[in-house]
Chains A and B, each alone.
Chain A
C-alpha cells in the first residue's frame, strides 16, 4: 500500500498551483500561530487568580481595527489576483492543442481521438503537448478530475465545457469523476496514460480505428442526408458549411454568433434556436437521431471543411505525434 502526503506534479500547471498553495499555507500558518500564541499567552498571563478580580475595561482601538482589517485585506487581494491569473491560464487552451472529445455517462468516460481511436475510462496522451478536452454528458452532471494535473471541470449535459492541460511527466495518473452522479459514482474513474511522443505514436498506430473522427462525421453527414440542403456551392436551402468553423455568423435577429462547437451542436439539436440571416427556419431537429458522440463527429467534419486559422482541419487530421 503506497502512502503519500502530497500529490505528484504531472502537468505544466501543477507547480503553479502548488506555489500558490504554499503562499496561502504560509499566510494561514502565520495567522494561526499568531492567534493561537496570543490566546495561549493571554490565557496564562492573565489567568484569574481570585474570584473577585475586576480588570480595567478597554473599549477598543481604532488604529488596531484599521491595521487588522487592512493587512488581511491586502493579503487577500494578493491571493485573489494570483489565483485568478492561474485560473485564466488553466481555462484558456492554446490554439495548437490536441483536441480530445469526451462524452460522460453513468458511469463511464467515453473518449475519442481525432484520429478515430476510442477509449473507455482510459486516455492516452503524449507528454509535452497541450491537450484540449471538449466534453458533454449524456445524462447527469459529471466532473473530469485529474489530481496530478490539478485540473477539474464539470461535464454538463446539454452543453460543451472545455478544459486543457500539458502533461510534463510520463506515467499513469488517476482520473476521477468529482461530481456526485448516482450509485456507482465512486466507480466512475479511470487512468490517464502520459506517454513519450514515440510511444504515443506507436500506441496510435497500434489500434485499428478504420476512420478518423472527421471521416466518421462525413459518413454520418451523408447518412442523415444533410448535404441535400447544406450544399457546398451555396445554392441549398441551408447555409454552406465550408469554412464555417470559427467564423462569426450573422443571425436573422441581427446579432452575430461565433461558430464554435457549442453553436454547431445547438444548430443540429435545436436548429430553431438561432436562424442564420437570409435563411428560413426549415431545418428539422436531429435530437434523438444522433448521439452525443455522433454530434462530435459531425463537428469534427464541419471543422475539416475548409480553411480555419489556428486549429481546424490541419490540426484535426494531423499525422499522429506531429506538431
Chain B
C-alpha cells in the first residue's frame, strides 16, 4: 500500500513502517486511517445484525430466531451503528484527516490526545464486543428504565461501560477540533474563509463536548441502579423511569446532529467542487450549522410526547422542534441554488451529494410529521419513526460519508477509485436504500410497532419489499469495500488536485507529506474561489 504510491517522495504513509509506527502515531492522518479501519469493522458487524433482522422479518411468525435473539439483534445493531460507527464516522475519519489540512495546519492541537481518543473508542468497542460474544444485550439501544436496570438479564453493564468509554473518545475529538479551529488556522485563514466542512465540524464539536458528558452521567446512574440498587429510575426503588428518558434524549437527540452535521459539511464541499461555484449563501450555511447545534439541545422532549410528560411540555417541545427545521431547510435550498448556472459534473461524489440532498429532504420533511403532536402520538414507536431516522442517519449521514470518502480518496491514498464501479454502487445504494426504508413509512402509519419479532400477517408484503431492498443495499455497500482495496494497487495516480477543487488540502501532494505542507500556506481569498483553478478558462453562465 505504501510503496506503490510513492516514488521517492516521503508521504505520511511511508514515513514509518511496522505496526508500532501506526499504533503509536501522532499524525492526524494516520489516526484518521486507524479510525477508518475501526469503524469499517463495526459497520460490517452492525450490517450483519441488520441482515439477520431483515431476514427474520420476511416471515410474520418469527421462525428464524427466538424472540430473545431477535431482541438482542436489534439492540446490538443500534448500539454498534450509533455509538461505534455513526458518531465517530465522519468527524473521526474525514474530520481528523482533513480539518487540519483545510485550515493549513500541520496537525490537530493535541496529537497525543487524538491518539488517546482512538484507543478509547477501541477499548469501548472491546467492551461492546465482549458483551456481544458473552451473550448479547437486549434493552434496545435506548436502554429504557426500569427494563435496563431491574429486569433485563443480559449484558447491560458491559455494554453501558463500552458506550461510556467510547463517549470520552467523542468528547476528546470535539475538544481537539475546537482548539484546533481557534488556534491553528494558517495566516489569512479567517473564520469566514474557512470551508463549510470546518464550520460543520466546529458545530459538531460543540455538541460532542457539551452533550456527551450527560450521556456519561446517565449511564453511570443506570449502572448504580443496576449494580447497587440505588433507586433513581425504578419506581419500585423510589425512582422515576421517565427521568431516564429526559436525560437520555438530552444527549441522544443532539447526537443525531453529531451524525448529520459533518455530513452536511461534506455535502457543501462536494456541491461546490462539482458545480465549480462558491456555495450560495455561505454565511447562512455556516451559521445554520451552529444554529442546528444550539437548537438541538432544546428539543429532546419531542421523544416523550406519549411518555406521560405534561401537555404543556409536549407543546413547548413540539414548538421548539420546528425551529430546527428552518436551518436544515436553509441548507437544502442553498445547496440547490448553488447548482444554478454552475458547471455540474456527474463524478461519483456528486452523485452521492444528489442522493444526500434527496434523501435528507425526505428525512427532514418526515421530521415535521413526528414533531407534530397530533401525528406523533400515532406514529411514535412505529416503523414510521424507524423509516424517518434511517432516512437521516443512513440516507443522510452514510451518503455523506461515502460521498466524502470517494471525494478525498485520491488525497488519502494518491490513487483514483474506478469511476464506473463507483457510479454503479452509488446508484445501487440509492435504489436499495429507498426500497428498504420507504415501505416502512407506510408500515408505520398502518400501525406496525417497532422492535416486533412477530407481527400480524397483513404487514408481510411491505416487510418483504423492505427486505428485498436491504439485499440490494448490502450489495451496494460491499462494492466500495472491494474497489477501494483494488484501487490501492491498480487505481490511476491521482495527482494533487484531480477535481480542480479550491481547498488547501488540494494544494499539497497526494498523499500528503507527514507535516501536510512543505510551506505553510497563506490564504488571501475566500473559500470556493475558483478563478485560476482550471487553467484555460471557458467562462459560462
Contacts and interface: CB of A to CB of B under 8 A. Distances in A.
Nearest to B144: A141
Given A6-B446, A58-B280, A180-B451, A90 B306 contact: no
B242 to A, nearest CB: 7
A24 B241 contact: no
A152 interface: yes
A68 B283 CA distance: 15
Contacts of A253: none
B517 interface: no
B146 A157 contact: yes
Nearest to A90: B377
Contact of A21 (B235, B369, B460): B369
Given A42-B336, A64-B337, A28 B138 contact: no
Interface stretch (B46-54, B203-211, B359-367, B402-410): B359-367
A2 B381 contact: no
B134 interface: no
Given A47-B346, A80-B322, A156-B308, A55 B458 contact: no
Contacts of B152: 182
Interface stretch (B18-26, B163-171, B323-331): B323-331
Interface string A39-66: 1001100111111111111111100110
A55 B342 contact: yes
Contacts of B3: none
Contacts of A157: 146, 234-236, 241
Given A42-B340, A87-B377, A52 B537 contact: yes
B332 interface: yes
A4 B329 contact: no
Contacts of B71: 180, 182-183, 185
Nearest to A176: B449
Interface in A160-185: 161, 174, 176-185
Interface in B508-541: 528-531, 533-541
Contact of A147 (B358, B365, B447, B530): B447
A1 B460 contact: yes
A265 B60 CA distance: 40
Interface in B338-390: 339-346, 354, 357-358, 361-362, 365-366, 368-369, 371-378, 380-382
A interface, size bucket: 35 or more
Interface stretch (A30-38, A211-219, A223-231, A313-321): A30-38
Interface in A63-94: 64-65, 68-69, 72-73, 76-77, 79-80, 82-88, 90-91
A275 interface: no
Contacts, number: 306
Nearest to A82: B374
A86 B373 contact: yes
Contact of B445 (A21, A54, A90, A159): A21
A320 B337 CA distance: 65
B67 interface: yes
Given A157-B235, A177-B449, 14 more contacts: A6-B446, A17-B375, A42-B339, A64-B337, A68-B330, A73-B322, A83-B375, A145-B381, A147-B447, A151-B378, A152-B378, A154-B307, A161-B308, A174-B456
17 contacts: A24-B369, A42-B336, A42-B344, A43-B346, A46-B275, A53-B537, A56-B341, A56-B541, A59-B282, A65-B334, A76-B322, A139-B151, A140-B147, A157-B235, A183-B138, A184-B67, A186-B451
Which 7 pairs between the two chains have the least Cβ-Cβ distance? Answer: A147-B447, A158-B235, A86-B374, A87-B373, A83-B372, A42-B339, A53-B343
